[in-house]
Amino acid sequence: MDKNRHKALGLSDEQVLEMYETMLLARRIDERMWLLNRAGKIPFVISCQGQEAAQVGAAFALDREKDYALPYYRDMGVVLAFGMTARELMLSGFAKAEDPNSGGRQMPGHFGQKKNRIVTGSSPVTTQVPHAVGIALAGKMEGKDLVTFVTFGEGSSNQGDFHEGANFAGVHKLPVIFMCENNKYAISVPIEKQLACEKVSDRAIGYGMPGVTVDGNDPLAVYEAVKEAADRGRRGEGPTLVETVSYRLTPHSSDDDDRSYRAPEEVAEAKTKDSIITFGAYLKENGIMDDAKEKEINDRIMDLVNEATDYAENAPYANPEDALKYVYAE
């Protein structure tokens, strides 16, 4: 990466350090969740690993006081940047009553937190896309200065919901940012078997919006693309499709064994481009972080993860009679 690229984008040293810390926090929470799952303490993990740079780079380009996020299950980096805490994510992992996402009733990864404008989603993939379009329409009708940011995987970009949502947003010039986190697999299906076009972003032209593909391991490239999309949306010029290309570094979920469909060498090769390493190196090259600072950040993050784990493990479960809460009118 070129020197001081962040300055040209209007980002301060403090802001890029905060981006790095958010990426690292997401990674360390995720790693802890795998350990807890293998120890039989939490039921399920679906990872952000390999996608932190895309998630955090994008979130930092938004107005996190006003804009709406409609994340998909891997977006730990997005929700942390929007204000969800390590403790709250761990409460969801342990399925405890105090989990703000669903009171421990949904699987982990079903993010939702009203105060931070993180809109809850459903398990069928891509259903969040029409919701994002609807919120953008409501914002436009009410004259509000808001952009909606919705993410999904590349496999999910084949679902009708994506095409219907993109078309409606294109026709009505709604301020929606469609961000496809292309991690090259949809469970066991590789990208070559998912799309007949070369890029997911090629689909944008069909809906009258710009489509760009950027390096999903580079948080600054994603920041730049999403910032431009947000500015466009705020100017009333309509939606944008951003595709971030990275790689899913873990199996699909804690219930998947990826050795049955991809070579370990392929995963090892992808790990050499891990954004936690490459963005850390960028910060060091630019004199923003040194070894001592890196250790201080790591120690602080591990303290947070430990505290969150202990708190969530000891927190009470929901009462059985709360299972139907909010399902029917109270």
Interface ranges with ligand TPP (CB under 6 A): 74, 123-125, 152-156, 183, 185-187, 248, 252
Cβ burial, residue 208 (10 Å; 0-12/13-18/19+): middle
Task: Tell me which amino acid residue 314 is.
Answer: N
- In angstroms, the CA 248 to CA 49 distance is 7
**Residues near Mg ion (CB under 5 A):** 153-155, 183, 186
Say which entry of ligand TPP, Mg ion, none residue 175 contacts (CB below 5 to 8 A, set by partner kind). none
248 among known catalytic residues:
yes
> Tokens 């069928």 identify what position?
124
Cβ distance to ligand TPP smaller for residue 157 or 309: 157
Cβ distance to Mg ion smaller for residue 153 or 233: 153
Task: Tell me which amino acid residue 230 is.
Answer: A
- In angstroms, the CA 267 to CA 190 distance is 13
Q: Which of 248, 262, 300, 326 is catalytic?
A: 248
Say which entry of Mg ion, ligand TPP, none residue 123 contacts (CB below 5 to 8 A, set by partner kind). ligand TPP
Cβ distance to Mg ion smaller for residue 240 or 246: 246
Smallest separation, CB 184 to Mg ion (Å): 7
- In angstroms, the CA 85 to CA 93 distance is 13
232 among known catalytic residues:
no
Smallest separation, CB 162 to ligand TPP (Å): 10
If one counts every other C-beta atom within 10 angstroms of the C-beta of residue 114, the result is 9
Cβ distance to ligand TPP smaller for residue 253 or 286: 253
Cβ partners under 8 Å of residue 128, min gap 6: 70, 71, 72, 119, 121, 122, 150, 151, 152
252 among known catalytic residues:
yes
Smallest separation, CB 125 to Mg ion (Å): 10
Helix 52-60 to helix 275-285 angle, to the nearest 10 degrees? 60
Smallest separation, CB 32 to ligand TPP (Å): 20
Q: Which of 64, 163, 252, 262 is catalytic?
A: 252
Cβ distance to ligand TPP smaller for residue 53 or 125: 125
Smallest separation, CB 216 to ligand TPP (Å): 11
Helix 13-38 to helix 275-285 angle, to the nearest 10 degrees? 150
Question: Which residues have a catalytic role annotated?
Answer: 248, 252, 261
